Amino acid sequence: MIKKEKSMSSKNKYRLENDTLGNIMISPDAYYGPQTQRAVENFQISGIRLPRSFIKAQGIIKASCASVNVELGSLSPEMGKAIIQASEEVIEGKLDDNFVVDVYQAGAGTSQNMNANEVIANRATEILGGSQKIHSNDHVNMSQSTNDTFPSALNIAAAETINLRLLPALLELEQEFQKKSDQFMSVLKSGRTHLHDGVPMRLGQELSGYTSIIHDIYLQLERRLDTLYQIGLGGKAIGTKINLHPNYIQKVICEVNNRTKLPFREPVNIFSFMQNMNEPIRCMMTLKELAIHLIKITSDLRLLSSGPRTGLAEITLPPIQPGSTIMPGKINPAILEMTHMVCCQVIGYETAIATAGLAGQLEINVMMPLIAHTFLHSIELLTNSIYTLSKKCINGIEANVEMCKKWMEDSLSLVTALSPIMGYDIASQIGMKADEENKTIKQVLEAQGLLTEEIINALDPNNMV
């Protein structure tokens, strides 16, 4: 792959390169260079790499910067063309195997930025047939620093993923709940508060609550998404735009927009952008709220489908796999349980991001790699789990009409309809007597000769919803 002079150790082939710290051995097949190699050796921590979406965003930035640097006369057209081609290979995922730095790396993501710079530089040099040496810092990183490109890559990656995947997933979930709400609007059932009997309601009404909260989160996320369109390219090290062409920022953001088809813009205050991780922190709070609501919804559905003989059993879930290694035929609410687990992870990730946000000092937050990993992974986890929840659970829910009717008729809360007729105290006595004698409200009223036509109408659940 890389045409460099190779040295031989006693056992393995390698190529010898050097940086400001001296010589270092690198695999002859790797496009990355000495700074990446040092990071690989120094940070053998988790084996976790930043995701494809972030690497793609790095490629978008490097290609955009090279294009503008050529236009402004800062970079030769031949070099710029080679850098752009290599960057586009990064965008397409052709060089992913060369992005090898652990998430838990040197602060601010310098190693990650140099990983991209070195891969693109060596690939661009190869594209030129070795006729010109593309330098990772002088050419690929021209008009940039880690401090402005890393948070910009994060915002680009998050904005693209939310636009293309998470928002469509939420919309599909909302639509599935709406379909089920409409389908089950005629099904009467007992409501429940404090996990005890509540007044009657429609199953469709219950599900409409889920529809509405998902829609609300969708709108919130759209608003949060707008803040991610701020990218600080051109801020350089601390926001002062040192060594930068005056027309660079406007042109490079325009180039990013052409490549992503999204409306990225300059930050309101470049120094605030460099100092803080406002956009990921705020957006992550919305993802945490989404996780909280999904836990509530999936917990509800697990209760409503509990049984099938010893629980509420008001709804049935589509069977997707056996649920027990010892109880034949047992089916568990596996998709709901999976979703709950994902949401627990996302809530934990929000805490990690909030804690990392506290680590900002003076002109930069050095915890950016951790924030990038947890934020982008949260988006990916929620997207995948929501699509799975919609397709393999919600759209297959069926109502158990007879069980809904049974629990509703047995509910002591029906006595609520008697308060306007008999008064609260007498209605309470009737409810307590029904509970003590294990009878329905109607049975107690009938035994006492109180079951008049007015009361029969009042106790009709259709008149109570």
Helix (H) or strand (E) holding 197: strand 196-202
Helix (H) or strand (E) holding 123: helix 110-127
Give the C-alpha separation, 139 to 117, whole Å: 9
Q: Cβ distance 117 to 125 under 8 Å?
A: no
d(Cα 411, Cα 425) in Å, to the nearest integer? 18
Q: How far apart are the first and last CA of the chain?
A: 71
Nearest 5°: CA angle at 89, between 88 and 95? 145
Q: Strand, coil or helix: what is 17?
A: strand
| CA distances to 49, 102, 352, 361 from 46, in Å | 8, 7, 16, 26
Query: Amino acid identity, residue 116?
Result: A
Instruction: Tally Cβ neighbours within 10 Å of residue 169.
Output: 21
Residue 186 β-bridge partners: none
Nearest to 99 by CA among 111, 88, 107: 111
Give catalytic status of residue 139 as yes or no: no
Residues 233/130, Cβ–Cβ less than 8 Å: no
Catalytic residue among 64, 194, 215, 377: 194
Q: What separation in angstroms does the CA of 306 have from each of 300, 372, 407, 426?
A: 10, 39, 14, 35
Residue 46: closest CA among 343, 453, 369, 311: 369
Query: Is 272 known to be catalytic?
Result: no
Report the DSSP pairing between strands 22-26 and 13-19: antiparallel
Q: Which amino acid is at 432?
A: M
DSSP 166: I
Dist CA 190 CA 326 (whole Å): 34
Residue with token string 């205050």: 269
Dist. CA 444–CA 387, nearest whole Å: 49
- Judge contact between 4 and 27, C-beta under 8 A: no
- Selecting among 324, 340, 373, 377, the annotated active-site residue is 324
Q: Alpha helix (H) ranges present in 312-462?
A: 334-357, 368-392, 401-410, 419-422, 424-436, 441-447, 453-458
Closest CA to 66 of 53, 55, 54, 78: 78
- Which residues carry out catalysis? 194, 324
